[in-house]
Structure 1
Amino acid sequence: MELTPERLPAQLAAEPLRPAYLIAGPEPLRVLEAADAVRARAKEAGYAEREVFDADGRDFDWNSLDATFRAPSLFASQRLIEVRLPTAKPGKEGAQVIAGYCADPQPDIVLLVTGGEWSRQHGGKWSDAIGKLGHVVVANPVRPHELPGWIEARLRSRGLRADRDAVQRLAERVEGNLLAAAQEIDKLALLADGQPLDAARMEALVADAARYDVFRLVDAALNGQPAQVSRMLAGLRAEGQAVFALMGMIVMELQRVAALARVQERGGNLAAEFKAQRVWDSKQAVYRRALQRHPASRWQRLVAEAGRVDRIAKGRFRIGEESDDAWQVLERLLLTVAEPKAAALLAS
């Protein structure tokens, strides 16, 4: 049975745990919260042991997962077994193992499979088997016209009341970023004192930086949103921000993606590198989308270009280096991160 992430908690409350769940899609917050709902329900039902398998890369041992399905628990009678499939593609061997479990599920196991992407091309006999046995939850992005409704529902779930203009104002602030919207709503729950929110009060309570901070600027670039990058940079510049104050975060993020790209290019364990780089599960889909746009050599060049932007912003030029406008070269850099066709701008 296929569900939306928002319908899953009610379904979990209305029935015993199913033997298997698949939660996948490109919206990290919806995937994370749906998976958290399954974990909480499993804990409530006495599934005290949790085993996590990061099935990322060609070197993942699917036999170890198959053996876990068959082996008795050492610590608890009931187990939650999680399989993290960032690409939502288990491959032939993985599909066979998952489908095999679904054909003969163990009474003391709940299988939770999560993925960072989903489309018709991702599914197969393995996902159909999970759907027949349990639930498939698809976490699609919230479309622009759906965002006010999503925000209003989340406000209500936090005990907040807001009129249409206030909801629209918040939707405009977060520009489709559900994680940012969730964070703002959590802050509003603390600040609103139970009072209804109109547009003026929403404006006063939501920080002006919600739209144009450096974290969301980097996310827009990594997510491949060049128009949003340009808007955010214009907003930061209008607010009087200094380029050099932004560069520490930008350089760090580009170095992180470059390291991931090197591991991916040589066929290494990307899941292990995510852990080494301290990338949260909820953010991994963002980096994976970015990695698809440039080869490792290009990412290394982008890191070098970020260093040049930083020097220009601080007035520290190398011999032969031009004193370009720091905002202009930063925009060229981030547009290239977001859109490979913009790479020609780096040489201009």
Structure 2
Amino acid sequence: MKIYHNQLEQTLRQRFIPVWLVFGDEPWQKDNSLSTIKNAAKNNGFEELIRFSSENSFDWQQLLDEYQSMSLFASQRIIEVELTSGKIGDAGSKVLIELTERLTQDQQAGMANQDVIFIFHGNKLDGATANRKWFKGLNQLGCYLPLYDLDVKSLPRWLNNQARQLQLNFTPEVSSLLLELFEGNLPALSQELQKLSILFGQSVITLEQAENIVINQAKFNPFQIIDVLLQGDCKKCIRILDQLQQEGAAVGQLIWVFHKEIHQLYLMLSQLEQGKSHADLYKQYRIWDKRKPLYQHALTHISLANVQRALTRLADIDLLSKSQSEFNVFLLLADLCVTLYHGEITEQFDLNYG
């Protein structure tokens, strides 16, 4: 069974689940999911927690031994296994398949052990690992909870849910402020909401009060700016670049990311002019369904001439970043974002304005 984070609490209330598979790279959702599962188990008498980690020296046989052993401290146990890598090797795969078989046999014989809960967790799984026999077997017995980064559309819903749980009351302006400042940094936003709950309780929080307290802790990575750029939100691109500069982001990596994306846009727009369809381009460049609206917008609003201007400017920015130190490369990259949509205006200005 596969569920998502917003379905977790409801699923926990429905029935006993002996195996949980929690995998993903978003830290807040992972911590919250693990603590929610453990707290629900604890409320049902699972007092003992045994932890394992699948590092190089790990003896996988311990899992089978632990499952079959009688608890010395409590009748109900949580066995938590952190998979430090999706590649668990032949030994790990063999043991997990055997564990699955024993759990299945116990269920079929009417001796299902409801005194043990397994929680396997780790980083995001690739497609190959999710199709392994050991993973499919565990998934059939339990529940798979993949954790994804919240996109811009999902974040307001998450914020409202958290505010409701904390009994927080704030104006729509405060909600917009929090979303702007903490986009890309869910753990910091969660902490900020808890702080506001302690300070204000159920009182209505105004924008002025929030501005005096809230600290800008939004975090972005170089790839997130590409999505914003494809949406045509140049103002937000500049804000992200400013944040990346404050965080000390590597200029070389940013230039590489921009070049990769803009060069692909150049190829796609060139093929569109030759009569190729959007659908064919999405298939050729392996554009996921979720990202197709981004490219639809970009390919509709960016001209081939402006992409060519942007590539020329990016080459100049790369040279300046490597040969001269008096230029603010992040400012030049902001110019690049504007050029992609308004190149007919920016070409009138020389990049050498540092």
Distance 1:80 1:61 in 2: 18
| Percent of pairs with identical residues | 25
Partner of 1:62: 60
DSSP 3-state at the match of 1:137 = strand
Aligned equivalent of 2:173: 165
Structure 2 Cα separation of the partners of residues 229 and 166 of structure 1: 20
TM-score, normalised by the number of residues in structure 1: 0.59
* In structure 2, C-alpha distance between the alignment counterparts of 1:181 and 1:89, rounded to whole Å: 33
Pick from 67, 71, 74: which aligns with 2:72? 74
Q: How far off is 1:191 after superposition?
A: 2.0
Aligned to 2:341: none
Contact 1:23 1:139 in 2 (8 A): yes
What amino acid is the match of 1:72? M
1:240 matched residue in structure 2 = none
Measure, in 1, the Cα distance between the counterparts of 2:153 and 2:240. Answer: 21
Equivalent in the alignment of 1:93: 91
TM-score (norm. length: structure 2)? 0.58
Bigger Cα Rg: 2
Q: 1:122 aligns with which of 126, 129, 135?
A: 129
Q: 2:149 aligned to 131, 138, 141, which one?
A: 141
Match of 1:231 among 238, 242, 248: 242
Cα offset for 1:225? 8.1
Runs of 4+ more than 6 Å apart? 223-229
Q: In angstroms, what is the RMSD of aligned CA positions?
A: 3.3
Query: Alpha-carbon deviation of 1:230?
Result: 4.6
Match of residue 12 from structure 1 = 12
Matched residue type, 2:24:
G
Kindly indicate whether the alpha-carbon contact (under 8 Å) linking 2:124 and 2:146 is maintained by their aligned counterparts in 1.
no
Secondary structure in 1 matching 2:204: coil
2: CA distance, partners of 1:187 / 1:71: 44
> Do the aligned partners of 2:221 and 2:244 also contact (CA within 8 Å) in 1?
no
Looking at structure 2, the residues matched to 43 and 82 of structure 1 have their Cα atoms a distance apart, in angstroms, of: 14
Deviation at 1:233, TM superposition (A): 5.8
* Pairing 1:154–2:162 present: yes
Instruction: Return the letter of the residue paired with 2:31.
Output: L
1:109 aligns with 2:107: no
> Deviation of residue 51 (structure 1)?
0.8
Query: Does residue 26 of the first structure (1) align with residue 25 of the second (2)?
Result: yes
Residue 63 of structure 1 and its aligned partner are, at CA, apart by 1.8
Higher relative contact order (CA 8 A, sep 6+): 1
Shift of 1:138: 1.1
- Show CA shifts across 1:189-212 (max 9, x none): 1122312345444323313x434x
Question: How do 1:260-279 residues align onto structure 2 when only pairs under 5 Å count?
Answer: none
Deviation at 1:95, TM superposition (A): 2.7
| CA–CA distance in structure 2, aligned partners of residues 99 and 149 of structure 1 | 39
Shift of residue 153, structure 1, vs aligned partner: 1.4
* Paired residue type of 1:32: D
TM-superposed CA distance for 1:66, in Å, is: 2.4
Q: Secondary structure at the match of 2:121?
A: strand
Give the conservation status (yes or no) of the 8 Å contact 1:9–1:37: yes
Task: Give the 3-state SS of the residue equivalent to 1:80 in structure 2.
Answer: strand
Structure 2 unaligned residues grouped into runs of 5+: 104-112, 227-236, 250-324, 330-354
User: CA separation of 1:161/1:86 partners in 2, compared to 1, >3 Å: closer, same or farther?
Assistant: farther
Q: Is the 8 A contact 1:28 1:116 kept in 2?
A: no
Residues of 2 paired with 1:29 and 1:63: CA distance?
31
Counterpart contact for 1:87–1:117, Cα < 8 Å: no
2:339 counterpart residue number: none
User: Partner residue of 1:304?
Assistant: none
CA distance in 1, matches of 2:8, 2:175: 24
Q: What do residues 33-64 of structure 1 show as CA deviations (whole Å, max 9, x unaligned)?
A: 111111112212222221101113x3322122
Check 1:144–1:118 CA distance in 2 against 1; reply closer, same or farther (3 A cut). Answer: farther
State how far apart, in whole Å, the 2-side matches of 1:121 and 1:143 are. Answer: 25
CA distance in 2, matches of 1:158, 1:86: 33
